[in-house]
Chain A
């Protein structure tokens, strides 16, 4: 269930490298913990973000949670279809439920992220 080609954060974001850009979303574990997602506040394209800054907000029926920037860089594109169909994150967290694309500044930041095996271990440790 945890795609092997992605990198992960402790805040349950995933990152997929594509040339100089990364695609960012939240993991299946995260969407499952949040429950029905009812609203997503997306960043503006062109925005500069620093690693660990708040990047977007997802709201479920009962609560709001931040999505943090896994890497520093410039937001190049956001998934505007989430405005009308935020439930896409529940249905396809690694696919159509992607959140935004970021042009990465410092690629060494990628080294600090977890691979799939480490993330799987991390989830096991947090959900006992």
Chain B
């Protein structure tokens, strides 16, 4: 059965077309200001890539913050259940999913069968999210791709104590003024994100295996900081950024009557 999952996040819009367990097409683009248009573009790109017609898609599920703007979706689901399903598909032993996206971070606890048992989200604050990293990257004149690599060169992570993005940015600026190395500052930023995430994970009751999904999983610095604090390995599946969209496409297969 051919299904589609579209995940409209605050920063990027992701989509996949799947036939059972096979990925036929994938795409990632910026969401921009119009989530509805982003959803439409994602679908067109996917159809072109897979060489399929809209009618051939049996069911389409939208997820993510912009899910309700995808008016052509057969159904919408929260990104929590989709990330759970996607992570379980990629790593069947996954019991804890750490998802750090553009504007929020969450920790999801799964059953053996991949059902969501519990979840916790960051409070109304951007600290510990992808947006936080973006702001920090700008303050340190680097890009997100360089961020992970640079932090690995840091020998002593600088102390970043603020839990607020705005205050943390000024904290970073004063560290720069004090002559702290960029590598150590970035390592410190990753450590502070990891510490916030671990606190959330402990709240929900962490069970291995731990899997990380979402855009921030591309940042090796955050992964390593998390592993260090948790003292456990953190696995990043292939296509980690697409996990929510994959989960949506899989859940669409389970509920074909949605169409």
To the question of whether A and B form a pair in one complex, the answer is no
